[in-house]
Amino acid sequence: MADLKSLIRNVPDFPKEGIGFKDITTLLKDGPALRQAVQQMYEPFKDDGVQKIAGIESRGFILGGAM
């Protein structure tokens, strides 16, 4: 089981000073880690009858589609 936090790169002062951007590209490139992340997002809702997921913003499209 991967430590998912270690696969998220922190980019300080982006897009402007004082903001820390979390770059998940490194997580998305790691197939087993991506699978683990999707599974962890899915688990709390698996028995709730969810039928629609909104993938907001560019990375949300990827994760929402995987869900």
Residues 20-66: tens digit of each pLDDT: 999 999 999 999 999 999 999 999 999 999 999 998 888 888 888 88
Q: What average pLDDT does the chain have?
A: 93
Q: How many domains does the structure of the chain reveal?
A: 1
Whether residue 1 has pLDDT greater than 80: no
18 vs 61, which has greater pLDDT? 18
What's residue 8's pLDDT? 96
Contacts of 54 (CB under 8 A, 6+ apart): 60, 64
Supply the pTM of this predicted model: 0.80
How far is residue 67's CA from residue 61's CA, in Å, rounded to a whole number? 10
What's residue 59's pLDDT? 82
Give the residue carrying structure tokens 């899915």: 42
Query: Is 53 buried (19+), middle (13-18) or exposed (0-12) by CB count in 10 A?
Result: middle
Which structural domain, as residue segments, surrounds residue 15?
A: 4-46+53-66
